[in-house]
């Protein structure tokens, strides 16, 4: 099954419309698709309609921003959620509402480094102003010639510990998992290989995630090299988590892996889609 269970549209920090994302997924052979914008489900119905028209299977999705432990930002993907669930909707709206003040702070930090007008510049890249994100700042800084590509902007300016980094309080892990499961969905740890967690912390995190009702983990991710795939396959087996396959596609040429272009899952795993279809 060519399932790709994580991607973005311009309702968050992707560059394509939900319709274009689904067409690209279909053209790449995806059989089971979703749309998982950051803290936002506004693009899901458009994606759903296009996916069905193309003959793909589709589940609704979202990627919730979470703060955990000592200033760690963790992303939790929710799949097959009821996007009209009032608790989920109110929770996501609350998470989105913090983004504007944070963006102003990022802009102030960058101004101290001599980069003026970053808030307005980033906003011009954000089709959905409620979802102003570091990706929009990154595209603006590339446009200004401050770095050669989006990835370099993060390592020079916007990543943790860099001049434009602003710590932020997102949802708690408990809230994110409860909103997702309360809306009938499955909570999945996004790109676990990206977090700065020692093995002991990862174990504590996964234990807590499961206690709240979390069920899945991205084993295949564009953020994972083959070593990380094996490491997180092992966590999935040890913690009895469903294994997901996730390109985290944002834009042609900008993403590490394109839609539907991931390898097969390692053996002895329970595929996440067995719980969806």
Q: By the criterion CB under 5 A, which residues form the site for Mn ion?
A: 13, 63, 75, 190, 248
**CB closest to ligand AMP, residue no:** 133
Q: Which segments of the chain does DSSP mark as H helices, in order?
A: 18-27, 44-53, 86-97, 99-112, 118-125, 134-143, 150-153, 173-182, 199-212, 226-238
- Contact flag: residue 150 with ligand AMP (CB under 6 A): yes
Q: How far is the CB of 238 from ligand AMP (least distance, A)?
A: 27
Identify the three-state secondary structure at position 238.
helix
DSSP category for residue 192: G
CA angle 73, 41, 84 (to 5 degrees): 120
Q: Give the pairing of strands 61-68 and 72-79.
A: antiparallel
Q: How far is the CB of 84 from Mn ion (least distance, A)?
A: 22
- Contact flag: residue 175 with ligand AMP (CB under 6 A): no
CA–CA gap between residue 205 and residue 70 (Å, rounded): 12
Instruction: Annotate each residue in 43-82 with x if it binds ligand AMP (CB under 6 A) or - if it does not, as one string.
Output: ----------------------x-----------------
- Contact flag: residue 96 with ligand AMP (CB under 6 A): no
* Token pair for 80: 């097959």
- Contact flag: residue 128 with ligand AMP (CB under 6 A): no
- Contact flag: residue 85 with ligand AMP (CB under 6 A): no
Give contact residues for ligand AMP (rule: CB under 6 A): 13, 38, 65, 133-135, 150-151, 154, 159, 250
């Amino acid at each position: 099954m060519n399932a790709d269970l994580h991607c973005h549209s311009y309702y968050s920090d992707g560059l394509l419309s939900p319709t274009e994302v689904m067409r690209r997924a279909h053209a790449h052979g995806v059989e089971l698709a979703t749309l998982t914008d950051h803290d936002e489900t506004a693009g899901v119905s458009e994606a759903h309609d296009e996916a069905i028209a193309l003959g793909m299977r589709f589940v609704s999705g979202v990627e919730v921003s979470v703060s955990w432990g000592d200033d760690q930002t963790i992303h939790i993907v929710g799949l097959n959620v009821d996007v009209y669930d009032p608790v989920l909707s109110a929770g996501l709206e609350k998470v989105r509402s913090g983004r504007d003040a944070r963006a102003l702070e990022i802009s102030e930090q960058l101004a101290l480094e001599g980069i003026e007008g970053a808030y307005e510049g980033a906003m011009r890249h954000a089709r959905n102003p409620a979802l102003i994100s570091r990706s929009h700042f990154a595209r603006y800084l590339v446009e200004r010639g401050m770095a050669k590509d989006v990835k370099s902007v993060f390592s020079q300016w916007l990543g943790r510990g860099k001049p434009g980094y602003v710590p932020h309080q997102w949802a708690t892990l408990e809230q994110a998992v409860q909103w997702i499961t309360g809306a009938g969905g499955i909570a999945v740890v996004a790109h676990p290989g990206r977090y700065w967690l020692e093995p002991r912390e990862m174990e504590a995190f996964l234990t807590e995630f499961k206690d709240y009702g979390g069920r899945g983990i991205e084993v295949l991710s564009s953020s994972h090299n083959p070593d990380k795939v094996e490491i997180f396959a092992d966590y999935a087996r040890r913690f009895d988590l469903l294994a997901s396959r996730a390109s985290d596609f944002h834009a042609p040429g900008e993403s590490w892996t394109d839609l539907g272009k991931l390898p097969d899952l390692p053996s002895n795993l329970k595929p996440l889609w067995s719980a969806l279809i």
